[in-house]
Amino acid sequence: MTERLAVSAETAGSGPHDFIAGLPKAELHVHHIGSASPRIVSELAARHPDSRVPVDPEALAGYFTFTDFAHFIDVYLSVVDLIRTPEDVRLLTYEVARELARQQVRYAELTITPFSSTRRGIDARAFMEAIEDARKAAESEFGTVLRWCFDIPGEAGLEAAEETTRLATDDRLRPEGLVSFGLGGPEIGVPRPQFKPYFDRAIAAGLHSVPHAGETTGPGTVWDALVDLRAERIGHGTGAARDPELLAHLAERRIALEVCPTSNIATRAVTRLDEHPIREFARAGVLVTVNSDDPPMFGTDLNTEYAIAARLLDLDEEGLAALAKNAVEASFLDAPGKTRLAAEIDAYTASWLSSRPLR
């Protein structure tokens, strides 16, 4: 049974929100545990009553209101604490895929922090089996292809880096869906260059490098990610806007930025949406992708982020389709997969435009 919603150009409405709702998309920057909807978090909190996370969905909404980035990390880690068994892992992964499919996401690279689970005592092999089982079920039932990015939680230091690298590169553990290696958590006080040896090992094992950088710090962190961690895409990169030379470098090398507008407001990395540097990125010719980061925690979803980007960048339907195709280009899908998804975006857009009265 497929639960993919069949929103066609003929049956959907005519506004940009309706166009976006049906637009086939790729999501490149979304966190596994950070995608837990209030319904899932509530279910997990009820399963683990010793947690400090509220069970009541209304109380949860208040709990997810952040004062600053440090507070966000604190709340996030309390949700991490709810994932204690392989069954918790499987449930979360499968439900996240259902939510992506609802938004017409055909392909998603989900950032997973396996260290958070193995540190809690979940067996590494059982963890890998849980995510792979959910991935295969999601692909056959929802039609959404999932791939994994294993990321180092920067706040947990080099022990976490070592364990994440081991889980990502050990042939007996490494899951089939793993394509990339990342680095998240706070940037202030957590210099990127110290993670170089771990990224070197992951890259040598065939993984792509996709660290967060310049989310809450300046362009120097993005340069570190490019030079030391050999980043192929940058998570956020907000601070890059302050360095024209860096923007030119990103544009020339087609190194995409994974922009997550609402997240940047929620964590106070950017003060107001109208001040978001996405316009500077686009003007500089940088390959901009739009993503949702930790959507339920920030009260958003990928479709909402596309609507925000449409407003900030003044995009019509063709502009939105081009934005969706940027994510396809920047993804780690294989070449036939990229061609197929880009063609699906084009076909949807052409059908939408031809079914409307002339403007």
Q: Which residues are catalytic?
A: 215
Closest Cα to residue 209, out of 178, 232, 176, 175? 232
Residue 224 beta carbon to Zn ion: minimum distance, rounded to whole angstroms = 17
Q: Which of residues 247-286 bind Zn ion (CB under 5 A)?
A: none
Closest Cα to residue 138, out of 179, 168, 106? 106
- Choice between 86 and 214, CB closer to Zn ion: 214
Segment contacting Zn ion by CB under 5 A, of 54-62, 125-133, 289-297, 335-343: 289-297
Residue 134 beta carbon to Zn ion: minimum distance, rounded to whole angstroms = 20
Segment contacting Zn ion by CB under 5 A, of 56-64, 291-299, 317-325, 329-337: 291-299
Position 187 contacts Zn ion (CB under 5 A): no
Under 8 Å between Cβ of 128 and 173: yes
Going edge to edge, which strands form the sheet with 178-184?
Answer: 25-31, 105-112, 145-153, 178-184, 208-209
Position 293 contacts Zn ion (CB under 5 A): yes
Closest Cα to residue 79, out of 99, 55, 95? 55
How many residues contact Zn ion, by CB under 5 A?
Answer: 1
Residue 10 beta carbon to Zn ion: minimum distance, rounded to whole angstroms = 36
- Choice between 132 and 293, CB closer to Zn ion: 293
Position 305 contacts Zn ion (CB under 5 A): no
Segment contacting Zn ion by CB under 5 A, of 57-65, 93-101, 163-171, 287-295: 287-295
Distance CA 36, CA 43 (A): 10
- Choice between 309 and 315, CB closer to Zn ion: 309
Residue 86 beta carbon to Zn ion: minimum distance, rounded to whole angstroms = 24
Ramachandran class of 217: left when φ > 0, alpha when ψ lies in -120 to 50, beta otherwise? beta
- The gap from C-alpha 79 to its chain's centroid, in whole angstroms, comes to 17
Neighbours of 275 (CB within 10 A): 11
- Choice between 163 and 293, CB closer to Zn ion: 293
Select the residue whose beta carbon is closest to Zn ion and give its number: 293
Under 8 Å between Cβ of 76 and 117: no
Segment contacting Zn ion by CB under 5 A, of 8-16, 80-88, 199-207, 293-301: 293-301
Closest Cα to residue 233, out of 171, 284, 183? 183
> Which residues of this chain interact with Zn ion, rule CB under 5 A?
293
